[in-house]
Amino acid sequence: MKVLVINCGSSSLKYQLFDMDGEKVLAKGLVERIGIEGARIKHTKTGMESVVVETPIPDHKAGIKLVLDALLDKKHGALSSLDELSAVGHRVVHAGEKFAASVRLDGKVMDALKECVPLAPLHNPANIMGIEAVSDALPRVPQVGVFDTAFHQTMPNTAFLYAVPYGYYEKYGVRRYGFHGTSHYYVAHRAAAILGQPIEKLKIVTCHLGNGSSITAVDGGRSVDTSMGFTPLAGVPMGTRCGDIDPALVAFIAETEQLSFKDIDFLLNKKSGMLGLSGVSSDLRDIEEAAERGESRSKLALQVLAYGIKKYIGAYAAAMGGIDAVVFTAGVGENSATIRAMACEGLGFMGIELDDSRNAIRSKEGLISTDSAKVKVLVVPTDEELVIARDTKRLIG
Ligand code: ADP
């Protein structure tokens, strides 16, 4: 059974073609700069060199056509006919409170996703365009939606409600939703498998640290709290996003700097976080290099990030009444031994202790805590596409 996984952004489209008999990736790629100058597709057939083709790509429909042509290409393709394609699975960012699990896409589900656009005005329209482009190109192929928010729908209202007038929750759906759910779900389950224990018995804190970062408390396999909120701006400091701040800062900056809400939204989403603190870059590799050269603001940025992660680990251990494991994943979590070590430093009192030589691993699954540590700490590379492919296969039957 062959399943195509699609992750549509506003001007980009990532894809992976899976053979679900053996869960092998047959080909993958990225379409970039859709609708703007310099559009291109980078396509890689597993085991072969990547090919890059620059060509005008006016919209997502044209992008999907390019992907299907690449998959059918005699040399670089992985399908001899589109009839081989059993289903398409889409990453969809926001399902509000409408879906707590992946669903097969039909007219009713699409209407529900359109109703969620106000909650994710940048992301959901792009996801919807991708789904509609596939429907046009492959009208008979079933499609499945897998939502970033779904895994967190198990949070209790004590964790998801904000202390603002309750009517805003009822009228506008103002609450914590959380994101990266597919990743938190995947790494929590992998961690349980690596530890050889049933996930139902484990209290795990999963730290997805990338350009965007979120931390989740996973109790018995269910998300019970997560650091991102109504939007993906909340939580630990990120590449360019501020994470948790005093909300009164918004009015203060607006007045003192004479900025509009739109300007402030841009400032907090694009100019803050590790970039804002370090003044160097949003990329953690650059900041680590600058800190090694002795740049004090880069050192400080690393310390603020590590402190933020540490506080969430402590908070979520308290929320769950204990902790058995901490998992690090995504670009920073999988690769930065420095951030992992700094975030876990001083947590020996609660049973968290890293083994320095084990902590040197990168982009590989492994245990990085000492043998005597009560809490197991693991690195688990995330694989959101595989979860989407598996859910798609399961729902198509
Ligand atoms: P996204 O949220 O866009 O999916 P990723 O999960 O790919 O992001 O993470 C990107 C982040 O990972 C960047 O800040 C990058 O610097 C960081 N990163 C990648 N490789 C390393 C590395 N070897 N050491 C430290 N940080 C790394």
User: Which atom of ligand 1 is least distant from the CA of 288?
Assistant: 25
Judge contact between 152 and 182, C-beta under 8 A: no
Domain 2-147 has CATH 3.40.50.300: no
Q: With bands split at pLDDT 50, 70 and 90, how would you rate the model's confidence at 9?
A: confident
Which homologous superfamily is 197-379 in? ATPase, nucleotide binding domain (3.30.420.40)
| Atom 12 (ligand 1) nearest CA | 331
Task: Note whether 224 and 246 are within 8 A (CB).
Answer: no
Ligand 1 center–CA 386 separation, angstroms: 20
Whole-Å CA distances, 245 to 43, 238, 241: 40, 13, 11
Task: Give the residue-averaged pLDDT of 2-23.
Answer: 95
Closest CA to 205 of 354, 195, 191, 107: 191
> From ligand 1's centre to the CA of 97, what distance in Å?
30
- Its pTM stands at 0.96
Say how many Å lie between the CA of residue 256 and the centre of ligand 1. 34
Probe ligand 1: pick from 236, 329, 335, 339, max atoms within 8 Å of CB?
335
Q: What is the pLDDT of residues 251-295, one digit of tens each?
A: 999 999 999 999 999 999 999 999 999 999 999 999 999 999 999
**What are the residues whose beta carbons fall under 8 Å from the beta carbon of 272, sequence distance 6 or more?**
237, 240, 241, 242
* pLDDT band at residue 397 under the 50/70/90 scheme: confident
Q: Which residues contact 67 (CB under 8 A, 6 or more apart)?
A: 4, 6, 13, 15, 29, 31, 41, 43
Q: What separation in Å is there between the alpha carbon of 333 and the centre of ligand 1?
A: 8
For 73-102, how does the pLDDT look when each residue is reduced to its tens digit (9 = 90+)? 999 999 999 999 999 999 999 999 999 999
Most informative mutation of 332, 334, 361 for ligand 1 (most atoms within 8 A of CB): 332
Minimum CA distance residue for ligand 1 atom 3: 211
Residue 208 CA: nearest ligand 1 atom is 6
| Mutate-to-test residue for ligand 1 from 186, 209, 285, highest number of ligand atoms within 8 A of CB | 285
CA of 361 to the centre of ligand 1 (A): 15
pLDDT at 10 over 90: no
Which residues of the chain does CATH 3.30.420.40 include? Answer: 2-147, 197-379
| Catalytic annotation, residues | 148
Which pLDDT does position 122 carry in this prediction?
83
